Amino acid sequence: MKKSRLIVKLLFMALVAVGVSACSSKTKVESDLGIKGAPDWVNEGTNILNNKDGRLFHGVGSASPMNDMALQRSIADDRARAEVAKILSSYMDVVTSDYMSSAKAGGANVAEEAVSRQIKALTRVNLTGARIIGNWRDPKTNIIYSIAELDMKHVKSTLAGTQDMNDDLKRYIGNNADNIFDRISKGKE
């Protein structure tokens, strides 16, 4: 369990270090796991995709074999959602930083703590939209892998329905969310 979890973490860190080399026409992340017979998403791991299916956050989690297959799958699902939470949180950190820079450049007096709290609350609400879109069991090791997906459309929809957010921040995210996502998915952050 620790070995497969470490591999997934190392893969995520490698993807971040490489800048998640994705392009808008076809998203391809070099495989780091190399598990023969595994779906592409298992070998690609956690990443940010911008392709024909939309702007997507994908998180991949795994769980080592145990006596209870339903529990094992549930653990893999939870870990996949946790991976989505990590990349969404990183994305929102960039949004916050960009907003703070923009607001200060415009002469606005913005309370960083209040903005940070609002962003964190939005992140928690958005995670409820992360759904499991696949599972795979490695027949050799019996490790179960799960992939969770969060669509940027859901993030923006959640934002539109938020009542407790500063109007300027809400407007900024609404106007810039896709551009920031595109910049991050192309590895420019």
Spatial separation of the C-alpha atoms in residues 113 and 123, rounded to whole Å:
15
Residue pointed to by tokens 């997507």:
56
8-state DSSP, 162: -
Neighbour-count burial of 179, counting CB atoms closer than 10 A to its CB (0-12 exposed, 13-18 middle, 19+ buried)? exposed
pLDDT in tens, 86-140: 998 888 888 888 888 877 776 666 666 666 667 776 666 667 788 999 999 999 9
Q: Is the pTM of this model over 0.75?
A: no
Phi-psi region at 121: left, alpha or beta (left = phi > 0; alpha = psi -120 to 50): alpha
pLDDT digits (tens, 9 = 90+) for 15-49: 333 333 333 333 344 446 788 889 999 999 999 99
Determine the Cα–Cα distance for residues 60 and 135; give it in Å rounded to an integer.
10
Give the tens place of pLDDT for each residue, 149-159.
999 988 888 87
Q: Does residue 58 surpass a pLDDT of 90? A: yes
Spatial distance between the Cα atoms of 119 and 188, rounded to a whole number of angstroms:
22
Question: Other C-beta atoms within 10 Å of 97: how many?
Answer: 12
User: Which pair of structure tokens corresponds to residue 75?
Assistant: 């653990």
Could you give the domains of the chain?
2-185 (3.10.129)
